[in-house]
Amino acid sequence: MSTTISSNLQQPCLKDRSNTGRAKRSGFGWSSSNWSGYAISGKKGAYSCISGEWIVPFIKPSRKPTYSSAWIGIDGFRNSSLIQTGTGHEYVNGSPRYYAWWEILPEAETVIPLPVTPGDHMQAVIQQINRTKWSITLRNLTQKWKFKTVQKYSGPQTSAEWILEAPQVDGEITRLARLSPTRFILCRVNGRNPKLKLLNGGIMIQDNITVSYPSSPNRCGNGFVVKQPYPKTRPLVYSRSPIFL
């Protein structure tokens, strides 16, 4: 694997308090410079298991390096802890790259050395085993492989999320790659349907431009699609410098 891939780091949600009202007027509950998708939050210890499936998006060519990740995780929405697993999609040195990974902050992502291609159907489960041990399972249903690891994690368990992210590379949040729509399905938390609502959704804004946003949840409340606006689309909300909430 290249050093570009191994240097990637997913980050907690970088939110902007000043945009909360404007985001809600657009129908969504939050805006961020690095996340878009759906996140739910609760009291300490509220979430001990999350699962979901997604279709690996196709990354479009770009002149400069661009990056993206699709993942599920626990924590990171209103704190700096995070346990997660997903797929990476980047366009670097004139070539697309697709790969699988898992990560527990503050460590950088660990690449899973198994094949990933656009259109693959991924399935992920993160589950608490006991007070400090968690299992992370990622399957590629299309290419018929399974990866599982057991790791220590002690975060507050106050949020659960299904996200498309612009990751951090070499210390900076990247420009989100141009992608085909990213579909998340069969989202579950603590073994149940999360019954997602539009207010649980968030849009990604970079340089005052909306770069990705989720659709409304499906009728069951357990699936959605993250899309990107056409070029030169006016932003849904305006973003200032992001801060941790």
Residue 232 resides in a domain: no
Residue 235 resides in a domain: no
Q: Which residues contact residue 207 at a Cβ distance below 8 angstroms, ignoring those fewer than 6 apart?
A: none
- Per-residue pLDDT of 180-220, as tens digits, reads 999 999 999 999 999 999 999 999 988 888 889 999 999 99
Residue 239 resides in a domain: no
Core vs surface per residue 50-66: b (16+ CB within 10 A) or e: bbbbbbbbbbeeeeeeb
User: Which CATH number is 207's domain given?
Assistant: 2.60.120.700
Structure tokens at 2: 């290249």
Residue 238 resides in a domain: no
pLDDT of residue 240: 28
Residue 241 resides in a domain: no
Find out whether 71 and 84 touch, Cβ atoms under 8 Å: yes
Structure tokens at 38: 């759906």
Instruction: Fill in the DSSP letter of residue 94.
Output: T
Question: CA 180, CA 113: separation in Å to the nearest integer?
Answer: 24
pLDDT of residue 235: 42
pLDDT of residue 205: 87
Instruction: Fill in the DSSP letter of residue 14.
Output: -
- Per-residue pLDDT of 137-166, as tens digits, reads 999 999 999 999 999 999 999 999 999 999
Question: CA 204, CA 226: separation in Å to the nearest integer?
Answer: 10
Structure tokens at 212: 């990705």
Residue 233 resides in a domain: no
Element (DSSP H or E) covering residue 18: none
Structure tokens at 12: 């907690």
Report how many domains make up the chain. 1
Residue 108 resides in a domain: yes
pLDDT of residue 23: 55
pTM here?
A: 0.87
What is the span of the domain harbouring residue 63?
3-227
The count of C-alpha atoms lying within 13 angstroms of the C-alpha of 215, restricted to the half-sphere facing its C-beta, is 15
Residue 221 resides in a domain: yes
Find out whether 167 and 176 touch, Cβ atoms under 8 Å: no
Residue 90 has pLDDT above 60, yes or no: yes
